[in-house]
Amino acid sequence: MWLIAFLLLAAGFEALSLLVSGDKLERFDASVIDAVQRQENGTLTAIAKALGKIGSSSVIIPAVLVIAVILFLVLKHRKELVLLLGGMLGSTLLNNALKPIYRRDRPDIHRIVEEHGYGYPSGHSMAAFSFYFLVAYLLWRHLPNRGWRAALIAFSAAMTASIGVSRIYLGVHYPTDVLAGYWLSACWIMLCIRLFRLWVRTGKRRKNM
C-alpha cells in the first residue's frame, strides 16, 4: 500500500512537470496569480514578506539546529535527529538538483520583491513542507491526545500553505512552482518516514533477540 501511494505521488509530480514544461498550465498559473495579487494591500504585503522570511533558510536552518540540539542532548532521540537532519538536507539537495534541470524562470508579471535563480520547484515551499511536517511527525509520536494531534496537523498545514501563497502574492513563483514543491516534498518525506520506521523496527528486533 505504501509503495503504491509513493509511486502515485512520484508519477503525479512527473505529470505536473511535463505539463509545466509543455506550457499547458499557463492559464491556470495566470488566473491564480491574478486572483491572489488582486488582494494586494499594505497589510497583506507585510504579512507575505514576514512569511517569506519564516520560510527562508535564515530562519529554517536555525530552527532545525535548535530542534536538533533538543533531540540530541535533552531527549536523547538520536534516530529522530537523523530523520530531521536527513530529511531537511535531502529536501534542499533535491531542490537544488532539480531547478537546473527544469530551468524555469520566475514570473515577470508584478514582483513585490526580487528573487534570483530558477523557480521550479519552489524552494520555500519545499523547505516549509519538509520542516513543518517532519516536526509534526516527530511531535505526533509523543502526543497521546487526538485533539493536540489534530491541532498540530492543522498548524503545519496552515503554515505550509501560507508560505506557499505568500510566494505567489510576492510575484516570485508561479502557483505550479509551489504545487511542485509540495508534491515533491510529500514524496521525499514519505520516503524518509518509511525508512525511519523500518530502522526503528529493526532496532527493536535486535534488542529482543
CA 149 to chain centre: 19
Distance (Å) of CA 48 to CA 10, 51, 114: 30, 5, 13
The pTM assigned to this predicted structure is 0.92
Kindly list the averaged pLDDT for each block of 10 residues, start to end, along the chain of length 209: 87 95 94 95 96 92 92 85 95 96 92 91 95 92 84 94 96 97 96 93 71
C-beta contacts of 117-120 below 8 A and 24+ residues apart = 119/172, 119/173, 119/174, 119/177, 120/17, 120/20, 120/174, 120/176, 120/177, 120/180
Residue 200 in any domain: the answer is: yes
Residue 11 in any domain: the answer is: no
* pLDDT given at position 209: 61
Instruction: Assign residue 103 the CATH number of its domain.
Output: 1.20.144
* pLDDT given at position 1: 78
* pLDDT given at position 193: 94
Alpha helices in the chain (DSSP H): 2-21, 26-37, 42-54, 57-69, 78-102, 123-140, 146-169, 175-208
* pLDDT given at position 83: 95
Residue 94 in any domain: the answer is: yes
Residue 8 in any domain: the answer is: no
Total number of domains constituting the chain: 1
Residue 19 in any domain: the answer is: no
Domain that holds residue 183: 28-208
The grid coordinates listed for 194 are 518509511
What's the angle, vertex CA 61, arms to CA 59 and CA 64, rounded to 5? 110
Residue 73 in any domain: the answer is: yes
